[in-house]
């Protein structure tokens, strides 16, 4: 396979100054010692992208994903290493990059086309395709500073994909578009793949990474941890999210060290309240292989674990969990009372581990897990301890349906009748139903 992009031992270092004046001091060498600290955004990163490949780059915030794309497109320059690109690049990076906010959408179309190297006549020829894809109507004649983020990305992406690039580079920009526009963009990705074009994109949407990428590169804190199939790299990324990724598994890890790693996946701003007669002392999620994670592949089993301790005698504690979307809508949940499990006395000083095992049928996206420890004291309902939004769950899916969850329909299509194609001198089709008319 021919190479479209080659990255060899690339390093990018930023100088971080504690005060603005320190930048001036350093620039003019006014002090013999340095007035800055160094941040290594990229550390000896190497990879290649073949022509016709769709490659995704994933990693946590600050891992260097956007930095490497900016270096490839020439927006930034590396401190060391070599970057080679073979093909015309169209890039959709930060929202607004390459646009003049005072210009109208139409003026920005010509501005961007000219910057890429097209003549006015060539832009004229592509104009209608750009307008049709963006589908923002008369707003194209208004200054882009009046656009919503959704309108902005529609126009930006329409320009990017209609200038006939050989390499398309996209950095998270599609996340601000509406779902229908995103679907249109991904259909265009499919068209590009069939045309043998190269696509390189960064996304936190692991569902899209899984569905569209031939190969995935995993970055973390400026280093390349690995590259491989989407499944392999998403699996590794899930371990990174909770601090458990290592190229060589350390089986000597103690239980306390494992608990410390697990707690990295918790929300530090969790809302909690209750009488504290009992407390949820720890919680975690494991996937179908028993590994701690906050990312679950749709259709796979996963388990919610919680540990609790009673400080007073409890008549019949109830353990619960609920899952809501990031807009705050509660979608599902259950508890030990609904499931008719436990409902026994728990004595002071006693500890329990509770597990809820189920299969993930929610649509791909981001969700929040809340936990509860409640019960009845006589006829009074009592909250002993509640943890709201304690863990962020990412559901990875390559097939989403309508609504909150998948009904897992089994679809079958049967042919009841097929028209017969009758060849003629002009190659027209003939409907066989006309043989039965009259």
- Looking at the fold, whether 266 and 216 belong to one and the same domain comes out as no
CATH number at residue 220: 3.40.50.300
For residue 263, the model assigns a pLDDT of 46
- Looking at the fold, whether 235 and 265 belong to one and the same domain comes out as no
CB 7 within 8 A of CB 45: yes
- Looking at the fold, whether 22 and 142 belong to one and the same domain comes out as yes
For residue 427, the model assigns a pLDDT of 46
Q: Would residue 85 count as lying in a domain?
A: yes
For residue 413, the model assigns a pLDDT of 92
Burial 319-341 (b: 16+ CB within 10 A, else e): bbbbbbeeeeeeeebbbbbeeee
The whole-angstrom separation of Cα 303 and Cα 355 is 6
Full pLDDT tens readout for the chain, 438 residues: 799 999 999 999 988 888 887 787 777 776 776 777 888 999 999 999 999 999 999 988 889 998 999 999 888 999 999 999 998 888 877 656 678 889 999 999 998 888 777 888 989 999 999 999 888 999 999 998 998 878 888 888 888 888 778 898 888 766 656 667 777 777 887 888 888 889 998 887 777 788 788 999 999 989 999 999 988 888 788 777 655 566 554 333 333 433 443 344 567 778 888 998 999 999 999 999 898 888 898 999 999 999 999 999 999 999 999 999 887 888 999 999 999 998 889 999 999 999 999 999 999 888 999 999 999 988 889 999 999 999 999 888 877 888 899 998 999 999 898 877 665 454 444 444 444 444
Q: Which two tokens stand for residue 104?
A: 């109208």
The whole-angstrom separation of Cα 56 and Cα 266 is 27
For residue 373, the model assigns a pLDDT of 96
Q: Which domain holds residue 269?
A: 261-396
Per the structure, how many domains does the chain have? 2
For residue 279, the model assigns a pLDDT of 95
Q: Would residue 110 count as lying in a domain?
A: yes
For residue 252, the model assigns a pLDDT of 38
CB 173 within 8 A of CB 97: no
Work out the number of other CB atoms within 10 angstroms of the CB of residue 200: 25
Q: Which two tokens stand for residue 361?
A: 């049928």
CATH number at residue 360: 2.70.50.60
- Looking at the fold, whether 69 and 160 belong to one and the same domain comes out as yes
Among 239, 269, 290, where does a domain finish? Answer: 239
Q: Would residue 120 count as lying in a domain?
A: yes
- Looking at the fold, whether 22 and 159 belong to one and the same domain comes out as yes
User: Bridge partners of 279?
Assistant: 309
- Looking at the fold, whether 270 and 225 belong to one and the same domain comes out as no
Q: Would residue 226 count as lying in a domain?
A: yes
Among 187, 204, 239, where does a domain finish? Answer: 239
User: Bridge partners of 224?
Assistant: 219
pTM, 2 dp? 0.63
CB 362 within 8 A of CB 323: yes
The phi and psi torsions of 193 (rounded to 5 degrees) equal: -60, -45
- Looking at the fold, whether 152 and 205 belong to one and the same domain comes out as yes
The whole-angstrom separation of Cα 288 and Cα 305 is 13
- Looking at the fold, whether 190 and 328 belong to one and the same domain comes out as no
- Looking at the fold, whether 265 and 310 belong to one and the same domain comes out as yes
CA atoms within 13 Å, Cβ hemisphere of 137: 2
- Looking at the fold, whether 31 and 109 belong to one and the same domain comes out as yes
What is residue 254's three-state secondary structure? coil
- Looking at the fold, whether 276 and 351 belong to one and the same domain comes out as yes
Q: Would residue 427 count as lying in a domain?
A: no
Q: Would residue 206 count as lying in a domain?
A: yes
Give which of 306, 274, 296 is closest to 374, Cα–Cα: 274
CB 351 within 8 A of CB 342: no
The whole-angstrom separation of Cα 263 and Cα 192 is 42
The whole-angstrom separation of Cα 380 and Cα 376 is 5
Q: Would residue 411 count as lying in a domain?
A: no
Q: Would residue 425 count as lying in a domain?
A: no
CB 201 within 8 A of CB 40: no
- Looking at the fold, whether 265 and 230 belong to one and the same domain comes out as no
């Amino acid at each position: 396979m021919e190479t479209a992009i080659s990255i060899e031992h690339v390093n990018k270092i930023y100088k971080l100054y504690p005060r603005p004046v320190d930048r001036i001091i350093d620039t003019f060498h006014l002090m013999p010692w340095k007035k800055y600290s160094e941040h290594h955004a990229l550390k000896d990163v190497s990879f290649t992208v073949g022509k016709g490949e769709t490659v995704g780059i994933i990693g946590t915030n600050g891992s260097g994903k956007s930095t490497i794309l900016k270096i490839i497109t020439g927006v930034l320059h590396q401190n060391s290493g070599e970057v080679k690109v073979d093909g015309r690049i169209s890039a959709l990076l930060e929202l607004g990059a390459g646009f003049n906010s005072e210009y109208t959408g139409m003026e920005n179309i010509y501005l961007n086309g000219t910057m890429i190297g097209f003549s006015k006549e060539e832009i004229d020829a592509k104009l209608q395709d750009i307008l049709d894809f963006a589908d923002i109507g008369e707003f194209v004649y208004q200054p882009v500073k009046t656009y919503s983020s959704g309108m902005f990305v529609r126009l930006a992406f329409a320009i990017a994909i209609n200038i006939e690039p050989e390499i398309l580079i996209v950095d998270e920009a599609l996340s601000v578009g509406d779902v229908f526009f995103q679907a249109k963009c991904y259909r265009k990705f499919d068209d590009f793949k069939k045309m043998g074009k190269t696509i390189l994109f960064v996304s936190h949407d692991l569902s899209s990474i899984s569905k569209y990428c031939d190969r995935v590169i995993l970055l973390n804190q400026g280093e390349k941890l690995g590259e491989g199939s989407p499944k392999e790299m998403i699996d590794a990324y899930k371990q990174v999210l909770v601090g458990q990724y290592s190229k060589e598994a350390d089986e000597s890890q103690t239980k306390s060290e494992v608990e410390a790693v697990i707690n990295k996946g918790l929300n530090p701003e969790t809302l909690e309240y209750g009488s504290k007669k009992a407390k949820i002392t720890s919680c975690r999620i494991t996937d179908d292989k028993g590994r701690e994670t906050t990312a679950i592949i749709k259709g796979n089993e996963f388990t919610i674990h919680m540990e609790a301790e009673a400080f007073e005698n409890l008549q019949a504690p109830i353990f619960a969990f609920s899952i809501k979307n990031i807009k705050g809508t509660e979608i599902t949940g259950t508890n030990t009372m609904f499931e008719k499990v436990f409902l026994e006395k728990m004595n002071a000083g006693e500890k329990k581990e509770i597990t809820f095992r189920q299969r993930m049928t929610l649509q791909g996206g981001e969700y929040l897990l809340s936990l509860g420890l409640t019960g009845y004291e006589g006829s009074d309902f009592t909250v002993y301890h509640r943890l709201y939004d304690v863990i962020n769950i990412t559901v990875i899916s390559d097939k989403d349906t309508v609504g909150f969850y998948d009904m897992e329909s089994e679809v079958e299509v049967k042919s009841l009748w097929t028209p017969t194609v009758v060849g003629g001198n002009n190659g027209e089709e003939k409907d066989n139903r006309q043989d039965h008319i009259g």
